Amino acid sequence: MKTIADLKFPSNVFSPLATSSPKLTKMRAPIRDQSWTSSSDESSGNATALAITGIDETHLNVSKTSNISTSSSSSVRTALEYVDPEIFHNKQFCEVITREELHEAIAECKMASDNFTKEQADIYATVVTERVLWTACRTWSGTLPVSTKASLKQYVQYACEDWYMRYTGQLCVDELQHLSNFKGMFDWQSVAIYCYEKGMPTKVIDRVFAKNLVRRTTGDYLDCMEMTWLLFAMIGTDEMQSIEYWFRVLDVHSTGVLSFAILEQFYEEISKILAKENVMSLPYSNVISQFTDILGTNEWTLRAFKNNSHLVHRVVNGFINAIRFLDQETNEKTNGERMDDESFGQGNRTRWQRLIDHEFDAHYQQNQSPTSSPESSNLSE
């Protein structure tokens, strides 16, 4: 069994993964008796009165279901945003779809249409259901406000038939099955080793395992749903739901305002990982000055983070992921991400969108070769 001390700094930077849209929830201290469910929009830590309230079937993007055999990935709309958050403003909804309803419907569809076993359908449904909730920033509440219950059929259809969602499910399912030593359970050591290999200090994992922060359970194991959230958050720090996730992790005192003294402890762990590879880190005071310029304030609240959502991932990476932190500093000089976005002709994209776009491109190329084996990718490539 590997230990953290045995690990070396990986040569390949971890790939991106995750989307979401704004919805703010209450910051809660890690107390056992606290409720995990989402708080109201008037709770502490709320950034704006213009909170997203849900989704209905009119917001599903069906333009990506075109035949890939007749078009290249560069000609397909590459933004993997099934839900446009702007549509939610001033919308009235009278029904809700629960996490359980969506999960059950997707699982039944996969068993009926793709001959999945119950176990295969269950894990696929877990990943895709959480992807939908993550995109809508409804992870904590576990409900999707809709105009009518008939919306459930639309969600199930694109969750099971859309190529992007199928590939999302396959990527995450493979990763979850690779990680789990026990059926659907992920222990601290396995998670810590996995995340450390991606550049994440164990101090961060300790916070992830804390009660009632980014979990719905307690104990020494993450369940499949919680591990799925971690995958989404760690790969997609530039997404709104991920910003909320990591703010909770970094807000050790649960005050709604990040402590610079506590953040220094996180930064020290990042610096230690970099130092092992002879990478010299900037002094903490310099980093704080740079990040404060990005946020435009000395008071680092969830409001400040979400008001600067297009850049705040750079701040988050500096405290949770050494590889991503180093990568973004390198990319700033080479403009690698901008050049990659331009080559796809779709403007600025999230890390999640870049990953799926490249997977789509690889799939299209493989589809042209009779000897290729589809869906052979791995998240860590």
Three-state SS annotation for 216-277: CCCCCEEEHHHHHHHHHHHHCCCCHHHHHHHHHHHCCCCCCECCHHHHHHHHHHHHHHHHCC
Specify the pLDDT at position 207. Answer: 95
Q: What is the average pLDDT across 341-352?
A: 76
pLDDT, tens only, 107-153: 999 999 988 999 999 999 999 999 889 888 889 889 998 888 888 99
Whether residue 42 is contained in a domain is answered as: no
Q: What is the mean pLDDT of the chain?
A: 74
The span from the CA of 18 to the CA of 355, in Å, is 9
Q: Are the C-beta atoms of 313 and 266 separated by less than 8 Å?
A: no
Whether residue 204 is contained in a domain is answered as: yes
What letter would DSSP give residue 13?
P
Look at the chain and report how many structural domains it folds into.
2
Domain around 271: 199-359
Whether residue 213 is contained in a domain is answered as: yes
CATH number at residue 239: 1.10.238.10
Residues 160 and 264 in one domain: no
Residues 268 and 310 in one domain: yes
Confidence of residue 68 (pLDDT cuts 50, 70, 90): very low
Residues 229 and 269 in one domain: yes
> What six digits make up the tokens of 317?
């990476």
Going by C-alpha positions, the residue among 98, 97, 124, 99 that lies closest to residue 109 is 124
Read off the amino acid at residue 59. H
Q: Label residues 74-96 b or e (16+ Cβ within 10 Å = b).
A: eebebbbbbbebeebeebebebb
Whether residue 45 is contained in a domain is answered as: no
Residues 205 and 283 in one domain: yes
161 CA to centre of own chain = 22
Residues 140 and 232 in one domain: no
* H or E element, residue 124: helix 118-135
